[in-house]
Structure 1
Amino acid sequence: MGCELTKLASGSNGSNSKSNNVPSLDACGPPPTDARLPLTAKQKYTMVASWKGISRAMETTGITMFIKLFEEHADLLNMFSKFRELKTKEEQATSEELQEHANKVMNTLDEGIRGLDDLDTFFEFIHQVGASHRRIPGFKQEYFWRIEEPFLTAVSTTLGDRYTQNVEGIYKLTIKFIIETLVAGYEASANNNVDSGGAGGGSSGGGGAGGGAGGGSGTGAATSRAS
């Protein structure tokens, strides 16, 4: 039982363990996470493990998310030329265009969540996705936040009984972290535009857009991509 430190400690008497500077047994726990991540090591492990259930039902989860989004914010439909005429849940649920877009958004979220082990790469990717929304006519920064509750509803629907109170809390922390990062990328692109006369924002958006906007896909990306 226990880690190697436990074995080392148990193999020496009390006085020797102090003199030999045996590390505290607390060190046996999971390694600390990056200080920038609002999750503990255990929470991150739970998040990644739980997400596997979502990754097996990406399209279904994405469609549920968008149906909930448009139910709560019908005005956002006008930002999507390909499916702005889908006024009913039935039409939205069977739309190939919406399914395609939902997949792109979910793939962006998937890449972000799988990137939580490498926050430098995570920030670069999500910032680029956020910046790419500068190219969407009529998009507003606050639209990113409109995807938060629809996302949580969709995840809850997909996971069912696995969506415990503890898991719910972890998903709330994670989606908030992702949206905050999208917003930061969106805001930074405005500063780049000012500093470089527009060139900065464009290139920044281009990179993340490939994975993200490649479907206008950021989370709140979700919210929009006028096509």
Structure 2
Amino acid sequence: MQDLSITSSVKDAGKFGTTTADHIRGSRVAKKTGGYSRSANSEASADFPSIKKDYEDSLIALTSLTDEEIQSVRDSWLILKAHIEKIGVIVFLGLFEEHSDFRDAFARFRGKQLVEITRDPALQAHGLRVLNVVDKLVGRLQKVEAIQDFILSLGSRHCKYVPSINLIPSVGEQLLEAIQPALEEQGMWTESTQRGWKAVLSYLTNAMRYGLARTPQTSLNIT
């Protein structure tokens, strides 16, 4: 896998040491779920009961976080937030490297090599949008109901762009793989931090899947 390290500008920011910056890179090879030839339409229809249950379970897990776990997530996010643009780029490069169909869902990136995409400002912009959603969720961990509809609608709006509903969890996996090494280097990857972030990212991806799955079938026009 190509080196997707955060650039030297992050090292100079003072938040991370050199080793930490080197460790913030694209995810390890994600396990493929297979069956991506099916449309998002048929996937959502066939798997709706399990998708709904996954969402409900992840919501329970998120709202069951202790004050310590919530604070651990917020404290660690203060470290990560200074670099969300670069982390977002890393996450999407990892996704594009592992899932070319995900990359090709973006007309601007379709058929391009990763080295070309890396220099495209649009990649940074999209990564930033995704990390801003994480920021909104982290800021509302004690009142999740205030952001539920927003994330569900976000999933619905992605119905025309996600080549497979089974790809959505990969975003959470890539995010976790990007932030864990940085927090480990800072000595912040404690059990409470790990539980908190896993709950946050599980809820985020399951809410988006559920939002997409409950979108009227006529809107799911991916083939």
Fold match by TM threshold 0.5 = yes
On the 8 A contact 2:62/2:203 being kept in 1, the answer is no
Picking from 69, 72, 78, the partner of 1:52 is 78
On the 8 A contact 2:172/2:202 being kept in 1, the answer is yes
1:155 corresponds to 2:179: yes
1:131 corresponds to 2:156: yes
Shift of 1:174: 1.5
On the 8 A contact 1:38/1:173 being kept in 2, the answer is no
Name 1:92's counterpart in structure 2: 117
On the 8 A contact 1:116/1:122 being kept in 2, the answer is no
Deviation digits for residues 49-96 of structure 1 (CA, Å, limit 9, x no counterpart) = 1111121111011011111112222221111111224313x3333221
Q: What secondary structure sits across from 1:117 in the alignment?
A: coil
Pick which of 106-115 and 164-173 moved more: 164-173
Shift of 1:118: 1.5
Shift of 1:176: 0.6
Name 1:142's counterpart in structure 2: 166
Name 2:98's counterpart in structure 1: 72
Name 2:67's counterpart in structure 1: 41
> TM-score with structure 2 length normalisation?
0.63
Name 1:62's counterpart in structure 2: 88
The gaps in structure 2 that reach 5 residues or longer are 1-59
Percent identical among aligned pairs is 22
Picking from 166, 171, 180, the partner of 2:206 is 180
Residues 97 and 158 (structure 1), Cα distance of their counterparts in 2 relative to 1, 3 Å cut:
farther
Counterpart-to-counterpart distance in 1, 2:64 and 2:77: 17
Deviation digits for residues 88-135 of structure 1 (CA, Å, limit 9, x no counterpart) = 3x3333221111111111112211221222111121111111111123
Q: What secondary structure sits across from 1:189 in the alignment?
A: coil
On the 8 A contact 1:130/1:182 being kept in 2, the answer is yes
Deviation digits for residues 20-52 of structure 1 (CA, Å, limit 9, x no counterpart) = xxxxxxxxxxxxxx8861422211111111111
The aligned amino acid for 1:184 is Y
Structure with larger RCO (C-alpha < 8 A, sep 6+): 2
Counterpart-to-counterpart distance in 1, 2:68 and 2:128: 28
> TM-score with structure 1 length normalisation?
0.62
Counterpart-to-counterpart distance in 2, 1:74 and 1:83: 10
Residues 134 and 35 (structure 1), Cα distance of their counterparts in 2 relative to 1, 3 Å cut:
closer
CA RMSD of aligned residues (A): 2.4
Shift of 1:144: 1.0
Counterpart-to-counterpart distance in 2, 1:36 and 1:154: 21
On the 8 A contact 2:88/2:124 being kept in 1, the answer is yes
The gaps in structure 1 that reach 5 residues or longer are 1-33, 203-227
Aligned residues: 159
Residues 180 and 38 (structure 1), Cα distance of their counterparts in 2 relative to 1, 3 Å cut:
farther
Deviation digits for residues 112-163 of structure 1 (CA, Å, limit 9, x no counterpart) = 2212221111211111111111233x63321211212211121124435135
The aligned amino acid for 1:173 is A
Counterpart-to-counterpart distance in 1, 2:61 and 2:110: 42
Residues 181 and 38 (structure 1), Cα distance of their counterparts in 2 relative to 1, 3 Å cut:
farther
Greater fraction of residues in helix: 1
